[in-house]
Amino acid sequence: MKVALITGVTGQDGSYLAEFLLEKGYEVHGIKRRASSFNTQRIDHIFRDLHEKNVKFKLHYGDLTDSTNLIRIIQEIQPDEIYNLGAMSHVKVSFDSPEYVANTDGIGTLRILEAIRILGLTKKTRIYQASTSELYGGLEKNKNEKGFYDENSPFYPRSPYGVAKIYGYWITVNYREAYGMFACNGILFNHESPRRGETFVTRKITMAAAKIALGLQDVLYLGNLNSQRDWGHAKDYVEAMWLILQQEKPEDYVIATGKTTYIRDFVRMAFLELGIELDFVGEAENEVAKVKSCSNAEYQLPIGKEVVKIDPAYYRPTEVDLLIGDPTKANTKLSWIPKYDVKMLCKEMINSDIELFLRK
C-alpha cells in the first residue's frame, strides 16, 4: 500500500485529493493546523475514529513554518508521495501579510524538500509542489504564439503570493536537479468547486446569487470585473496532481482548460442559472448590474433592482488581468482531459449554494 502525505489537507484541493487517493487504495496522512474552532469541515466525511480497525486516513498537527514538526511527521510516516498544497492562498490577502506568505508558501516548500534530504528519503519520496498560474502575472507579451501560457512562458508575478510561489517553484526545480529528487511542479490555473473558500470570487458570486435569489441578501459587492480567468473544477485538477507523480520522469506541467472567462460573465452565468438575467450598466466604480428579467417562478426579484455593485476596496494594488493556460503537455503526456467546463462548474456551485441556504 502506498503512503501519501498531504499538506493543506483541510483546504479545497486537499480534501478532494484525500478522497481521490483513498479511493486508489493509499494510506493518506494529512497535516492540519491547530485552530481555536474546528477547521476540518471539508474532510469530516472521510475521517474515521482512530480506534476503529484499518484506519487509512490520519491527521497530524503541524505547520509549514515549523521544520522540526515537518521532519518528525515525515520520519514517522516515511511517505512514498508528498503533495505540498498548504499555503496562504489568497492573492489579495497576501498584500496584507507578505512576510507570513513568504515564510509559508516560499520557505515552507524548502522545509519539505530539506526534510526529505535530511531523512535520506531522496530516492523514495516523490514530491508534488502546488505551483500556480499567478507566476505568469498575466503579461500579454509573455504568451506563446498560440496566445496561451505554457511550461516555457516567462514568469512575472504580481503579488507577494506570486513572488513567494515563484521561490517554491524554483527550489523544487533546483532540488530535482541538484539531488536527483522526483520533485515536480503542477502549474495549476484557477480551479473551483462547491468547497471553494468563500472569499474567492467564484464562490463569493455563487453564494451571493443564491442568497439574493432567496431574499437573504440585498447586494453583492465586487472589485475588478474586467479580469479574466481560466477556471476548471478542483476534482479534475487533483487527478492531474496524482498523474504528475506517476510518470517515469519528474517534470513540470501546466494544468488548465484553455478557455478564459471575464469575472462579469461568471456573475451573469451564476444568476442565469437561477433564471435571473442581468444588465450591466455604467463604468468602472460606477458599474452596476440590474435585474432584467426573472424566468424562474421560485426566484422573482423586482425588475431594475441593483444586485451587483463595485467596491474599490476589493481592487488589488497590482492585478493579473488575464490568465489562459495551454494544457497540451498534460493532455498528451498525462492523458489528462478535464471533465468539467466553466458552465458545468458554475451550475454545480450554484445548486450546492442554493441547497446550503435552504437547509439553514
Which spans of this chain sit near ligand NDP (rule: CB under 6 A)? 7-8, 10-14, 31, 33, 35, 39, 63-65, 85-89, 104, 130, 132, 188, 190-191, 197
Q: Which sign, positive or negative, has the C-alpha torsion 89, 95, 96, 102? A: positive
> Which of 16, 128, 161, 237 is flagged as catalytic?
161
Is the CB of residue 225 less than 8 Å from the CB of residue 316?
no
> Which of 7, 132, 172, 261 is flagged as catalytic?
132
Residue 32 pairs in a beta bridge with 61
Distance CA 211, CA 209 (A): 6
Does residue 79 touch ligand GDR according to CB under 6 A? no
Instruction: Give the shortest CB-25-to-ligand GDR separation in angstroms.
Output: 29
Closer to ligand NDP by Cβ: residue 265 or 306: 265
Does residue 324 touch ligand GDR according to CB under 6 A? no
Instruction: Give the shortest CB-27-to-ligand GDR separation in angstroms.
Output: 28
Q: Is 161 a catalytic residue?
A: yes
Cell triple for 319 = 492585478
**What DSSP designation does 76 have?**
H
Q: Is 19 a catalytic residue?
A: no
Site string for ligand GDR, 169-208 (x = CB under 6 A): --------------------xx--------xxx--x----
Cell triple for 36 = 481555536
Torsion angle of the four alpha carbons 268, 159, 182, 4, in this order, in degrees rounded to the nearest 10: -60
Instruction: Tell me how far apart the terminal alpha carbons of the chain are, to the nearest angstrom.
Output: 41
Q: Is 122 a catalytic residue?
A: no
Residue sitting closest to ligand NDP (CB): 11
Q: Which sign, positive or negative, has the C-alpha torsion 240, 242, 245, 248? A: negative
Cell triple for 222 = 465586487
Does residue 217 touch ligand GDR according to CB under 6 A? no
Binding ligand GDR (rule: CB under 6 A), the pick from 259, 316, 333, 347 is 316
Instruction: Give the shortest CB-132-to-ligand GDR separation in angstroms.
Output: 3
Q: Which residues are catalytic?
A: 132, 134, 161
